[in-house]
């Protein structure tokens, strides 16, 4: 019989210290979402029970992520290595403040989406897997934020990509198939580029652990090959994040799925790309980031301006929102281009704000479309008369997106502009402000046309447009459907206002996260032991 591990000394290959039960918070987001997702998938016929399971699972996920964030803020970076193998051999899950914070916000948005989906998803789309795929999408998103291994990051990217395919084609109508083909092919090429870069990186440094890579890269005699790797990562993640020259998949696909799906996509998927950019460009390859900083800055400016202009040129609300997603990505890229602790704080804060607000804006649009039966700006109107509460939610979210106080967007933009000015990038700061102005125009026009004016085009101005009274508006199951939507919307709007009014706690967390990205000694210490496990 083979040498059994019971008799052998395995301390050269395995961690022998016991793992604290609280450290399981690191992997619990993965376990919770997989279990919830597969249970829903196995009960695909029980379309009435699925939402309950999903809401319970995602609520649990929120609690777990909250616990994880509290523990990370308390104890510093936490690491758990799958199967007890000693790093860098085993796949490590390493969670710092950035990852934990983004995972928490992502789970809140997913929870809101599950609530919204109660009304937005019909029995057919539930049978085709709206809730299971939503939870498996969260598996991928959580894994991306929590993993400490760059190849494992690739795997989580693919997990969230395959779930997003499932969500994107729920209805299988023509526009969805058309959008899904473009989304699928371009995203698959982006992840393949990511894999190419990872292959090169492995060939050069011989390690894939994200705590090990900065040390190994610093020890390399020749930095030229790594610059290629950095450029490939930049291209791959810019594609995922929908940065300017490689963003055309986003406006081609994001308006085709159900609003609940589009909302969670707009909130989460592009930010995953931003997160990966921060990890690779700032933490793993800082030297090469300096070389590419100007490229990043130009891309950032082009992204935010082109996104804002694109939003102004659209007559369909959902497509305008797609371009607004792109515009917000530009601001986050600006923070990564400057890459000081302050600017990264701004980027993290902006990512958090954008996750909340973009999803919220899609939800508002979905409800507006539901109330008036169209998404075309020309045909919308009079929504203020129909539902003042919805108009209020839209105003708050629009102000937040444009960066006006007292909302979450204000602080994120203040930090970004401040950081750009301090690092002597005045034109970057100016572009952020100009883009903010342009998005204000785009959003204000939506507000004026859809909400403020009396009725759609053709109705005499000033007269309240008499909507054909929707018979189903008062039916009990429809009221229940709207309850879920209002709850989801209320959660997101409230969160944006809360961050705007009391930003201190969040800014402190974002600062810790940014400091950890700029100086990864705490991250490295957590994986390999030694000093720096605590911030």
Hey, CA dihedral for 379, 382, 383, 387, is it positive or negative?
negative
Residue 39 CB, shortest distance to another protein, in Å, is: 7
Nearer to another protein, 42 or 56 (CB): 42
The neighbouring-strand residues paired with 79 are 94
Instruction: Quote the least distance from Cβ 343 to another protein, whole Å.
Output: 33
- What six digits make up the tokens of 520? 């990864």
User: Which of 182, 51, 74 minimizes the C-alpha distance to 509?
Assistant: 74
Q: What's the min distance (Å) between Cβ of 235 and another protein?
A: 14
36 torsion bin: left (phi>0), alpha (psi -120 to 50), beta (else): alpha
Instruction: Kindly list the distances between the CA atom of residue 342 and the CA atoms of 39, 99, 339, 346, in Å, as whole numbers in the listed order.
Output: 43, 17, 8, 6
Gap between the Cα atoms of 328 and 434, Å rounded: 12
* Residue 416 and residue 347 in contact, taking contact as beta carbons nearer than 8 Å: yes
Closest distance of CB 329 from another protein, Å: 20
Nearer to another protein (CB atom), residue 105 or residue 325: 325
Nearest to another protein of 56, 82 (CB atom): 82
The residue (of 38 and 478) whose beta carbon lies closer to another protein is: 38
Got the DSSP string for 477-501? Answer: HHHHHHHHHHHHHHHHHHHHHHHHH
Decide whether 244 or 449 has the Cβ nearer to another protein: 449
Please, which residue, 251 or 382, has the CB nearer to another protein? 251
Q: At closest approach, how far in Å is the CB of 353 from another protein? A: 26
The set of residues, in sequence order, having a beta carbon less than 8 Å from that of 156 and lying 6+ positions away, is 139, 140, 141, 143, 144, 147
Task: Report the alpha-carbon distance of residue 381 to residue 464 in Å, rounded.
Answer: 9
Q: Compare residues 405 and 529 and give the one whose CB is closer to another protein.
A: 529
- Contact present, 269 and 249 (Cβ < 8 Å): no
> Which CB atom, from 41 or from 434, has the smaller least distance to another protein?
41
The secondary structure of residue 14, as a DSSP letter, is B
- CA–CA distances in Å: residue 126 to residues 133, 167, 390, 436: 10, 10, 26, 38
Q: How far is the CB of 104 from another protein (least distance, A)?
A: 20
Measure the CA–CA gap between 411 and 408, rounded to whole angstroms.
6
- CA 51, CA 40: separation in Å to the nearest integer? 9
| Nearest approach, Cβ of residue 107 and another protein (Å) | 18
Specify the residue, 262 or 489, whose C-beta has the smaller distance to another protein.
262
CB of 492 to another protein, least distance (A): 26
Buried/exposed 256-289: b ≥16 CB within 10 Å, e otherwise = bbbbbbbbbbbbbbbbbbbbbbbbbbbbbbbebb
Measured N-to-C along each axis, helices 504-518 and 50-75 cross at an angle, to the nearest 10 degrees, of 70
**Residue 147: strand pairing partners:** 93
**Can you say whether residue 354 is alpha, beta or left, with left for phi > 0 and alpha for psi between -120 and 50 degrees?**
alpha
> What is the β-pairing status of strands 92-95 and 78-81?
antiparallel
Query: Shortest Cβ distance from residue 19 to another protein (Å)?
Result: 5
CB of 162 to another protein, least distance (A): 7
Spatial separation of the C-alpha atoms in residues 111 and 58, rounded to whole Å: 5
Nearer to another protein by Cβ, of 74 and 457: the residue is: 457
C-beta of 187: minimal distance to another protein in Å? Answer: 10
Q: How far is the CB of 206 from another protein (least distance, A)?
A: 9
Alpha-carbon span 165 to 244, nearest angstrom: 23
Q: 259-277 and 341-372 are packed helices; what angle lies between their axes, rounded to 10 degrees?
A: 170
CB-nearer residue toward another protein: 308 or 507: 308
**Nearest distance, CB of residue 133 and another protein, angstroms:** 11
- Rounded to 5 degrees, φ, ψ at 14 are -130, 155
Would you state the structure tokens that stand for residue 397, as one six-digit string? 């979210």
- CA atoms within a 13 Å half-sphere pointing along the CA-CB vector of 294: 1
Q: Which tokens sit at 105? A: 């916000």
| Shorter beta-carbon distance to another protein: residue 42 or 502 | 42
Nearer to another protein, 163 or 496 (CB): 163
């Amino acid at each position: 019989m083979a040498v059994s591990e019971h008799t052998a000394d395995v301390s050269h290959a395995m961690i022998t210290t016991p793992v604290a039960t609280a450290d399981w918070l690191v992997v619990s987001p993965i376990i919770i979402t997989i279990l919830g997702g597969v249970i829903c998938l196995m009960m695909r016929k029980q379309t009435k029970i699925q939402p309950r399971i999903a809401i319970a699972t995602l609520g649990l996920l929120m609690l777990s992520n909250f616990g994880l964030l509290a523990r990370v803020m308390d104890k510093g970076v936490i690491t758990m290595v799958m199967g007890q193998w000693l790093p860098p051999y085993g796949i490590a899950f390493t969670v710092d403040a950035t990852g934990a914070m983004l995972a928490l916000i992502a789970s809140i948005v997913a929870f809101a989406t599950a609530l919204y989906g109660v009304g937005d998803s019909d029995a057919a789309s539930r049978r085709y897997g709206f809730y299971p795929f939503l939870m498996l999408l969260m598996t991928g998103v959580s894994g991306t934020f929590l993993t400490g291994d760059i190849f494992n990051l690739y795997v989580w990217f693919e997990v969230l990509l395959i779930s997003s395919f499932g969500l994107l084609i729920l209805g299988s109508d023509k526009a969805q198939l058309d959008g899904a083909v473009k989304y699928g092919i371009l995203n698959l090429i982006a992840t393949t580029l990511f894999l190419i870069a990872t292959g090169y990186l492995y060939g050069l440094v011989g390690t894939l652990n994200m705590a090990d890579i900065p040390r190994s890269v610093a020890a390399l005699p020749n930095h030229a090959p790594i610059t290629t790797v950095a450029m490939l990562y930049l291209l791959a993640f810019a594609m995922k994040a929908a940065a300017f020259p490689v963003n055309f998949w986003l406006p081609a696909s994001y308006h085709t799925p159900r609003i609940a799906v589009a909302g969670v996509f707009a909130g989460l998927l592009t930010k995953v790309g931003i997160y990966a950019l921060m990890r690779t460009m700032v933490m793993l390859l800082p030297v090469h980031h300096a070389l590419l900083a100007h490229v990043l800055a130009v891309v950032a400016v082009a992204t935010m301006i082109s996104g804002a202009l694109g939003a102004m040129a659209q007559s369909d609300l959902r497509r305008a929102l797609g371009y607004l997603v792109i515009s917000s990505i530009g601001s986050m890229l600006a923070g990564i281009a400057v890459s000081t602790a302050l600017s990264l704080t701004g980027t993290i804060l902006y990512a958090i704000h954008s996750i909340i607000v973009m999803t919220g804006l899609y939800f508002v649009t979905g409800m507006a479309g539901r109330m008036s039966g169209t998404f075309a700006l020309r045909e919308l109107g009079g929504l203020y008369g129909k539902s003042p509460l919805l108009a209020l939610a839209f105003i708050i979210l629009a102000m937040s997106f444009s960066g006006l106080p007292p909302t979450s967007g204000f602080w994120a933009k203040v930090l970004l502009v401040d950081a750009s000015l301090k690092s002597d990038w005045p034109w970057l700061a100016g572009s952020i402000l100009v883009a903010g102005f342009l998005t204000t125009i785009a959003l204000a026009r939506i507000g004026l046309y859809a909400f403020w004016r009396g009725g759609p085009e053709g109705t005499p101005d000033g007269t309240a447009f008499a909507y054909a009274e929707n018979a189903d508006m008062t039916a009990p199951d429809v009221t229940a459907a709207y309850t879920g939507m209002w709850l989801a919307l209320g959660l997101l709007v409230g969160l944006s206002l809360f961050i705007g009014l009391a930003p201190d706690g969040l800014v402190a967390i974002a600062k810790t996260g940014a400091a950890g990205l700029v100086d990864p000694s705490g991250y490295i210490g957590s994986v390999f032991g030694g000093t720096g496990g605590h911030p």
